[in-house]
Protein backbone atom coordinates (compact mmCIF):
# COMPACT_ATOMS: atom_id res chain seq x y z
CA UNK A 1 0.00 0.00 0.00
CA UNK A 2 1.27 3.42 -0.78
CA UNK A 3 0.77 6.14 1.75
CA UNK A 4 -1.27 8.36 -0.56
CA UNK A 5 -4.10 5.81 -0.54
CA UNK A 6 -4.74 6.77 3.08
CA UNK A 7 -6.08 9.86 4.76
CA UNK A 8 -4.47 11.26 7.88
CA UNK A 9 -7.13 11.13 10.61
CA UNK A 10 -6.29 11.02 14.31
CA UNK A 11 -2.68 11.05 13.10
CA UNK A 12 -2.86 7.54 11.57
CA UNK A 13 -3.71 5.68 8.40
CA UNK A 14 -6.67 3.53 7.54
CA UNK A 15 -8.56 2.71 4.37
CA UNK A 16 -12.18 3.42 3.50
CA UNK A 17 -14.60 1.38 1.42
CA UNK A 18 -18.30 2.10 0.84
CA UNK A 19 -19.96 -1.32 1.05
CA UNK A 20 -23.62 -0.27 0.76
CA UNK A 21 -25.75 2.86 0.77
CA UNK A 22 -24.87 4.34 4.19
CA UNK A 23 -22.33 1.67 5.18
CA UNK A 24 -18.61 2.48 5.29
CA UNK A 25 -15.83 0.01 6.11
CA UNK A 26 -12.83 1.69 7.77
CA UNK A 27 -10.08 -0.93 7.81
CA UNK A 28 -7.63 -0.42 10.65
CA UNK A 29 -9.44 2.57 12.10
CA UNK A 30 -9.38 1.17 15.65
CA UNK A 31 -5.67 0.33 15.71
CA UNK A 32 -4.58 3.62 17.35
CA UNK A 33 -7.24 3.09 20.05
CA UNK A 34 -6.54 -0.60 20.67
CA UNK A 35 -4.54 -0.43 23.90
CA UNK A 36 -7.00 1.96 25.58
CA UNK A 37 -9.97 -0.05 24.32
CA UNK A 38 -8.56 -3.41 25.46
CA UNK A 39 -7.74 -1.98 28.90
CA UNK A 40 -11.28 -0.60 29.22
CA UNK A 41 -12.72 -3.93 28.10
CA UNK A 42 -10.97 -5.68 30.99
CA UNK A 43 -12.68 -3.29 33.42
CA UNK A 44 -16.06 -4.11 31.91
CA UNK A 45 -15.77 -7.89 31.97
CA UNK A 46 -14.66 -7.90 35.61
CA UNK A 47 -17.98 -6.28 36.59
CA UNK A 48 -20.17 -7.83 33.89
CA UNK A 49 -18.64 -11.12 32.71
CA UNK A 50 -19.42 -12.60 29.30
CA UNK A 51 -22.40 -14.96 29.34
CA UNK A 52 -24.20 -17.00 26.69
CA UNK A 53 -27.80 -15.83 26.66
CA UNK A 54 -30.92 -17.71 25.57
CA UNK A 55 -33.16 -16.70 22.69
CA UNK A 56 -36.93 -16.51 23.19
CA UNK A 57 -37.07 -19.82 21.26
CA UNK A 58 -35.00 -21.47 24.00
CA UNK A 59 -31.70 -21.82 22.11
CA UNK A 60 -28.47 -20.84 23.82
CA UNK A 61 -26.42 -18.45 21.69
CA UNK A 62 -22.90 -19.57 20.73
CA UNK A 63 -21.68 -15.97 21.11
CA UNK A 64 -21.05 -14.81 24.69
CA UNK A 65 -22.13 -11.23 25.44
CA UNK A 66 -21.94 -8.38 27.86
CA UNK A 67 -22.70 -4.66 27.67
CA UNK A 68 -21.65 -1.25 28.87
CA UNK A 69 -23.53 2.03 28.82
CA UNK A 70 -26.77 3.23 30.38
CA UNK A 71 -28.62 0.26 28.86
CA UNK A 72 -27.59 -3.14 27.54
CA UNK A 73 -29.11 -5.60 25.06
CA UNK A 74 -30.43 -8.76 26.65
CA UNK A 75 -32.33 -11.80 25.44
CA UNK A 76 -34.08 -14.45 27.51
CA UNK A 77 -37.17 -16.66 27.27
CA UNK A 78 -39.40 -13.55 27.46
CA UNK A 79 -37.84 -11.78 24.44
CA UNK A 80 -35.23 -9.22 23.41
CA UNK A 81 -34.91 -5.82 25.07
CA UNK A 82 -32.60 -3.04 26.21
CA UNK A 83 -32.37 -3.04 30.00
CA UNK A 84 -30.56 -0.71 32.41
CA UNK A 85 -29.83 -3.63 34.76
CA UNK A 86 -27.53 -6.58 34.16
CA UNK A 87 -29.80 -9.56 34.94
CA UNK A 88 -26.81 -11.61 36.18
CA UNK A 89 -25.70 -9.10 38.82
CA UNK A 90 -28.84 -7.07 39.46
CA UNK A 91 -26.62 -3.99 39.07
CA UNK A 92 -26.45 -1.34 36.35
CA UNK A 93 -24.16 -2.19 33.42
CA UNK A 94 -20.63 -0.71 33.63
CA UNK A 95 -20.61 2.83 32.28
CA UNK A 96 -19.34 3.49 28.77
CA UNK A 97 -15.55 4.07 28.96
CA UNK A 98 -14.29 7.36 27.54
CA UNK A 99 -12.02 5.45 25.13
CA UNK A 100 -15.06 3.62 23.71
CA UNK A 101 -17.02 6.86 23.22
CA UNK A 102 -14.08 8.55 21.55
CA UNK A 103 -13.52 5.70 19.09
CA UNK A 104 -17.24 5.42 18.27
CA UNK A 105 -17.75 9.14 17.76
CA UNK A 106 -14.63 9.55 15.61
CA UNK A 107 -15.56 6.58 13.44
CA UNK A 108 -19.15 7.77 13.03
CA UNK A 109 -17.92 11.22 11.99
CA UNK A 110 -15.62 9.58 9.46
CA UNK A 111 -18.69 7.75 8.14
CA UNK A 112 -20.63 10.99 7.80
CA UNK A 113 -22.47 10.95 11.14
CA UNK A 114 -21.30 13.89 13.26
CA UNK A 115 -22.32 13.99 16.92
CA UNK A 116 -22.96 10.25 17.37
CA UNK A 117 -23.64 9.69 21.08
CA UNK A 118 -24.26 5.99 21.74
CA UNK A 119 -25.98 5.02 24.99
CA UNK A 120 -25.21 1.29 24.67
CA UNK A 121 -22.32 -0.90 23.61
CA UNK A 122 -23.02 -4.60 23.10
CA UNK A 123 -19.81 -6.61 23.45
CA UNK A 124 -19.83 -9.95 21.61
CA UNK A 125 -17.22 -12.64 22.29
CA UNK A 126 -16.70 -15.37 19.66
CA UNK A 127 -14.66 -18.48 20.32
CA UNK A 128 -13.85 -20.81 17.43
CA UNK A 129 -17.08 -22.17 15.84
CA UNK A 130 -19.26 -19.43 17.38
CA UNK A 131 -21.55 -17.76 14.86
CA UNK A 132 -24.43 -15.36 14.54
CA UNK A 133 -27.31 -16.18 12.23
CA UNK A 134 -28.83 -13.63 9.85
CA UNK A 135 -30.87 -11.01 11.72
CA UNK A 136 -31.85 -7.35 11.74
CA UNK A 137 -31.08 -4.95 14.59
CA UNK A 138 -34.42 -3.31 15.24
CA UNK A 139 -34.76 -3.15 19.02
CA UNK A 140 -33.53 0.47 19.00
CA UNK A 141 -35.99 3.38 18.85
CA UNK A 142 -33.96 5.63 16.58
CA UNK A 143 -32.99 4.20 13.19
CA UNK A 144 -31.61 7.56 12.01
CA UNK A 145 -28.52 7.00 14.20
CA UNK A 146 -25.92 4.61 12.78
CA UNK A 147 -24.52 1.52 14.46
CA UNK A 148 -20.73 1.49 14.73
CA UNK A 149 -19.03 -1.91 14.92
CA UNK A 150 -15.43 -2.55 15.98
CA UNK A 151 -13.71 -5.89 15.40
CA UNK A 152 -10.84 -7.09 17.63
CA UNK A 153 -8.87 -10.33 17.64
CA UNK A 154 -9.40 -13.23 15.24
CA UNK A 155 -10.81 -12.38 11.81
CA UNK A 156 -14.38 -13.31 10.90
CA UNK A 157 -16.46 -13.61 7.76
CA UNK A 158 -19.25 -11.07 8.09
CA UNK A 159 -22.40 -11.81 6.08
CA UNK A 160 -24.12 -8.71 4.78
CA UNK A 161 -27.49 -9.17 3.09
CA UNK A 162 -30.17 -6.71 2.14
CA UNK A 163 -33.54 -5.50 3.36
CA UNK A 164 -35.10 -8.96 2.92
CA UNK A 165 -33.98 -12.14 4.67
CA UNK A 166 -33.84 -13.90 1.29
CA UNK A 167 -31.35 -11.36 -0.16
CA UNK A 168 -28.12 -13.23 -0.84
CA UNK A 169 -25.46 -12.01 1.59
CA UNK A 170 -22.10 -10.60 0.50
CA UNK A 171 -19.12 -11.81 2.53
CA UNK A 172 -16.58 -9.46 4.08
CA UNK A 173 -13.56 -10.48 6.09
CA UNK A 174 -13.41 -8.30 9.20
CA UNK A 175 -10.04 -8.27 10.92
CA UNK A 176 -8.57 -6.80 14.08
CA UNK A 177 -8.98 -3.03 14.11
CA UNK A 178 -11.61 -2.85 11.39
CA UNK A 179 -14.56 -0.53 12.02
CA UNK A 180 -17.83 -0.34 10.12
CA UNK A 181 -20.34 2.50 10.30
CA UNK A 182 -23.82 1.25 9.40
CA UNK A 183 -26.22 4.10 8.67
CA UNK A 184 -28.83 5.12 6.15
CA UNK A 185 -30.69 2.29 4.40
CA UNK A 186 -28.07 -0.31 5.45
CA UNK A 187 -29.03 0.23 9.09
CA UNK A 188 -31.87 -2.29 8.76
CA UNK A 189 -30.20 -4.80 6.44
CA UNK A 190 -29.94 -8.45 7.42
CA UNK A 191 -26.50 -9.51 8.62
CA UNK A 192 -24.69 -12.27 10.47
CA UNK A 193 -21.33 -13.89 11.14
CA UNK A 194 -20.07 -17.23 9.74
CA UNK A 195 -18.65 -19.80 12.21
CA UNK A 196 -15.35 -18.46 13.53
CA UNK A 197 -12.24 -20.24 12.27
CA UNK A 198 -9.74 -21.32 14.88
CA UNK A 199 -6.57 -19.30 15.28
CA UNK A 200 -4.44 -17.30 17.65
CA UNK A 201 -4.26 -13.51 17.78
CA UNK A 202 -1.22 -11.76 19.25
CA UNK A 203 -3.23 -9.36 21.43
CA UNK A 204 -6.55 -11.13 21.89
CA UNK A 205 -5.70 -14.84 21.94
CA UNK A 206 -8.12 -17.44 20.62
CA UNK A 207 -11.20 -15.22 20.27
CA UNK A 208 -12.87 -12.44 18.39
CA UNK A 209 -14.47 -9.52 20.21
CA UNK A 210 -16.96 -7.26 18.45
CA UNK A 211 -18.18 -3.99 19.92
CA UNK A 212 -21.40 -2.54 18.54
CA UNK A 213 -22.24 1.00 19.56
CA UNK A 214 -25.90 1.88 19.49
CA UNK A 215 -28.15 4.81 20.19
CA UNK A 216 -31.20 3.04 21.57
CA UNK A 217 -33.45 5.98 22.54
d(CA 188, CA 49): 29
Judged by beta carbon, residue 14 or residue 187, the one nearer ligand MD3 is 187
Interacting residue with ligand MD3 among 66, 106, 207, 212 (CB under 6 A): 212
Task: Determine if 137 is a binding residue for Fe ion (CB under 5 A).
Answer: yes
In whole angstroms, what separates CA 88 from the centre of its chain?
A: 21
Judged by beta carbon, residue 82 or residue 158, the one nearer ligand MD3 is 158
For the bound state, the minimum distance from the C-beta of residue 46 to ligand MD3, rounded and expressed in Å, comes to: 21
The string of DSSP letters for the chain reads: --GGGS--BTTB--EEEEEETTEEEEETTTGGGHHHHHHHHHHHHHHS--B--B-TTSPBPSSEEEEEESSEEEEETTEEEEESB-TTTSSBPPPPPHHHHHHHHHHHHHTT-TT---SEEEEEEE-TT--EEEE----SS-TTS-EEEEEEES-EEEEE--SSTTSPPEEEEE-TT-EEEE-GGGGG--EEEPPPPP--BTTTBS-EEEEEEE---
Judged by beta carbon, residue 207 or residue 212, the one nearer ligand MD3 is 212
Contact window for ligand MD3 (CB under 6 A) among 7-15, 26-34, 85-93, 187-195: 187-195
Residues whose CB falls within 8 Å of the CB of residue 35, separated by 6 or more in sequence, listed in order: none
Interface characters, 154-183, with ligand MD3 (x: CB under 6 A): ----x---------------------x-x-
d(CA 129, CA 132): 10
Judged by beta carbon, residue 37 or residue 122, the one nearer ligand MD3 is 122
With CB under 5 to 8 Å by kind, the binding choice for 210 among Fe ion, ligand MD3, none is ligand MD3
For the bound state, the minimum distance from the C-beta of residue 89 to ligand MD3, rounded and expressed in Å, comes to: 21
With CB under 5 to 8 Å by kind, the binding choice for 149 among Fe ion, ligand MD3, none is ligand MD3
Residue with the closest Cβ to Fe ion? 137
Judged by beta carbon, residue 103 or residue 122, the one nearer Fe ion is 122
Judged by beta carbon, residue 187 or residue 215, the one nearer ligand MD3 is 187
Positions in the binding site for Fe ion (CB under 5 A): 137
Using CB under 6 A, list all residues that contact ligand MD3. 122, 124, 132, 137, 147, 149, 158, 180, 182, 186-187, 189, 191, 193, 210, 212
Amino acid sequence: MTRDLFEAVADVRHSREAIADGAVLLRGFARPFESDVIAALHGIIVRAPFRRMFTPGGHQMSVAMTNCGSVGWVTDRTGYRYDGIDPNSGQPWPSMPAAFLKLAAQAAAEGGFEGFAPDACLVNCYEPAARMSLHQDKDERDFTAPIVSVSLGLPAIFLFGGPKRADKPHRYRLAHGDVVVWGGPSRLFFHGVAPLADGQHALMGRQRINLTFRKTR
